[in-house]
Amino acid sequence: MAALANDTKTQILELGIQLIQQHGYQAFSYADIARALHIKNAAVHYHFPAKEDLYLAIVQYYIDVYQHMARQMNETQLSPKQQLDRFIQRYADLVDANKICIIGAASADYNNMPEAVKKKVTELVDYVLGLVEKTLAAGKRNGSFAFTETAKNQTMLLMTNLAAGVQLARITGKKDFENIRKSILKTIQA
C-alpha cells in the first residue's frame, strides 16, 4: 500500500525479505543491509527502529501481496486450476532463487519472536490457508479438482508439500521439487 512511497525504505524491506528467505532472520544484521545498500547502519534504524519492526513490516508486506493476489484473481476471472498453478509457481520460483517461503522461515524462528510478530505471522498463515482452501473448494465444485478430504485438510496437505518441498529441494536438489509438484497435481486432478 504505502510501501512504494520511500525508495530506501522499500529497498530495505525487499532486501530484508530476501535475506530472511535465503539465510533466516537471525542470520542477517542491519550492518549487512547497510553494506548492501551503501547506507549507514543508523539509516536502517531510521526507517525500522528495531529489527522487530522490520520483521513486522515484512510479514505485513506478504499479507498485502496475497490480498492483492486474491483481488487480482477475482477480477481476471482466473479458473481455480489457473489460480492454483499460479500459486504453485511462486514456490517453484523460490526453489530457483534458493529461497524458502517466509512461512517456513518464520516457523523455524517462531520461538524467538516477540508476541506482535507471532500474531502477524498467524494472521498471514490463516489468510494464505484460507485463500488456497477457497480455490480448492471452488475447483471441486466446478469439477476441475477431485479429492475426498475436506477442502481445509486438502489445503494443509498441499501447503505442507509445497513449503517443505522447497526446503527439501534446497538440500537434495531442484528436481525433487518438480516431482513433488507433479505429484501434488495428480493428487487433486479430477
Residue 43 sits in the site that holds DNA (CB under 7 A): yes
Look at residue 92 and give the partner it binds from a copy of itself, DNA, none, a contact being a CB closer than 5 to 8 Å depending on partner kind.
none
The window from 13-21, 29-37, 125-133, 180-188 that contacts DNA (CB under 7 A) reads: 29-37
**Residue closer to a copy of itself, measured from CB, 4 or 171:** 171
Residue 113: phi and psi, rounded to 5, are: -80, 145
Q: Are 90 and 148 in contact (CB under 8 A)?
A: no
CB of 76 to a copy of itself, least distance (A): 29
Residue selected from 42, 75, 171, 186 as contacting DNA according to rule CB under 7 A:
42
Look at residue 39 and give the partner it binds from DNA, a copy of itself, none, a contact being a CB closer than 5 to 8 Å depending on partner kind.
DNA
Q: How far apart are CA 144 and CA 158, in angstroms?
A: 16
Residue 55 sits in the site that holds DNA (CB under 7 A): no
Q: For 79-108, give one letter per residue: b (16+ CB within 10 A) or e.
A: ebbebbeebbeebbebbeeebbbbbbbbee
Give the 3-state secondary structure of residue 67.
helix
Residue 45 sits in the site that holds DNA (CB under 7 A): yes
